[in-house]
Chains A and B, each alone.
Chain A
Amino acid sequence: MIVNFWVTLGIKMALVLGVMLVGALVSIFGELKISAHMQSRIGPYFAGGRWGWAQPLADGLKFIQKEEIIPDTVDVRVFKLAPYVVLMGTMAIYVVIPFGPDMVAGNLDLGVFYVLAISSISTVGVLMAGWSSGNKYSLMGGLRAAAQLIAYELPLVLAVVGVVILAGTLSLNGIVEAQAQWQWFGVTPEWLNVIPPYLILQAVGFAIFLTASLAELSRTPFDMPIAESELVMGYLTEYSGLRFTMFFLGEYAGMVALAAIASTLFLGGYWLPFVSDDLLNFIGPVVLITKIALLVFLFIWMRWTFPRLREDQLQQLAWRILIPVALANIVVTAVLKVVF
């Protein structure tokens, strides 16, 4: 049986890696095409023959071929380790994303808590990258990233608490099931839950979660850590070749991961009415991926719509608006849960 365990573990790890890489590549392609359409240009067109679908692959191959330049002044060991730490924090989220009742690499009792804990490891990696580069732009970028990630981790966690109160569990599978069995005033038929109940009850939480996700991902309008006009490329300035690719993939993989978590928490995850659990294992992934694609499109749309905030505006938004509103949301949710 022990061999069986290691074989299963190996297959699961390969699947997690595969889903992450494909998700990242597809969302990179999505960003290329959508940004092009939003700016009235064509975007990638030739690679792969049609729509330029092979452009992310071509870019990836190009990065792998490139020489990796490691400047003289960097702290070599930390510099080399940093991208792995960042990618590890992102990849570990994929372990608990439920694509179906049984289509999950590990259904943890602590699901959401695990996601929030493990994703904070990436912050350490970003700081490592910023410091070890031995470059003041990198250091500034790393510091900005850390300040931003700490500030927005709080609203992210607090926004999730409302959902956890309603569902009564931290397990991601449990939260999806709780949404499937939600009853409005105890009489409503189950099929009505196609409109995700938590999207309505936790609309405030959902808005806070999406805003905080954008900041956690350092995407416009919260991309100060890598603001080109001020910091060259922030903590990525000295990276090249394969290690830069790892950061790049990590960014998009993180976007897909947070979109998946948001879909699971607020949009009902893989669930569909009138479908048995066995069938849901096959249809569930399609449902979840559709929701992820919608949210990823939203993230990309925001990037090409909003200008960048200032650093103090960023901090004010987190501490003066998002956190108090999230706390109020928790109080209201808890009171309503007790009353009804």
Chain B
Amino acid sequence: MGDWLSEVANWWFAAVALAMGYAAYRVVTSANVVHAVLALVATLGGSAVLFLLLGAEFVVWTVVLVYIGAVIVLFLFGIMITRAPLGYEAELDHPPKTKALAAIVAGAMFLLIGWTLVDAFGTEEVTASVTTVGDIGLQLFGRFVLPFEVVSLVLLAALIGGIVLARQDPVDIEDQR
């Protein structure tokens, strides 16, 4: 424990982790959808800072660009374009029984993931790292080129799905004329 406390990086980690924990708690407990999403922004921002502490700069800015800049903005956009009342929303509240169940599931998940990580790595230090953009690019298009292309297929499928859902049927257009 003494060793742990003497490292400045650990203090930063503790501060960020606590803030993230609180923000994540607010995501599920806040009684307003938009507040919940904004708490999610804080949580994701915290995860970006954790990656920054690990020196993985590329992941940091990917998290910011993709999650905060795109996913969250789409969340907010979707919520606001449908309905987003200000203030407390009663239907977001749940009976105590459901809350207890949720707490148990969340706690179990935390223990499972935490135990798996500690069991897998223990006190072992992960030294091998790919941090610069050039290295990441070489890895992606060298060793991991097949998974990379498969992921792009998933994206293509999602794109086609989006277009199919959003477009008007040709029959409907005929009717409107």
Contact = CB atoms under 8 A, between A and B. Distances in A.
B81 A78 contact: no
Contacts, number: 79
Given A78-B35, A109-B133, A110-B57, A124 B76 contact: yes
Contacts of A118: 61, 64
Contacts of B38: 78, 124, 128
A113 B61 contact: yes
Contacts of A150: 70, 73-74, 77
B132 interface: yes
Contacts of B70: 120, 150
Interface string B65-77: 1001110111011
Range of interface residues on chain B?
Answer: 20 to 34
B77 A120 contact: no
A128 B132 CA distance: 34
Interface in A153-181: 153, 170
B132 A109 contact: yes
A128 B73 CA distance: 10
B68 A127 contact: no
A134 interface: yes
B73 A124 contact: yes
A231 B50 CA distance: 41
Given A75-B86, A130-B80, A146-B73, A120 B68 contact: yes
Given A75-B86, A118-B64, A128-B38, A123 B69 contact: yes
B57 A120 contact: no
Interface in B39-56: 41
A116 interface: yes
B31 interface: no
Contacts of B68: 120-121, 124
Nearest to A116: B65
A114 interface: yes
B45 to A, nearest CB: 9
A154 B62 CA distance: 15
Contacts of A131: 34, 76, 80, 84, 86
Interface in A118-158: 118, 120-121, 123-124, 127-128, 130-132, 134, 139, 142-143, 146-147, 149-150, 153
Contacts of B25: none
A108 interface: yes
A78 B87 CA distance: 11
Given A139-B80, A150-B70, 4 more contacts: A113-B133, A116-B65, A123-B73, A142-B80
Interface of B: 32, 34-35, 38, 41, 57-58, 61-62, 64-65, 68-70, 72-74, 76-77, 80-81, 84, 86-87, 132-133
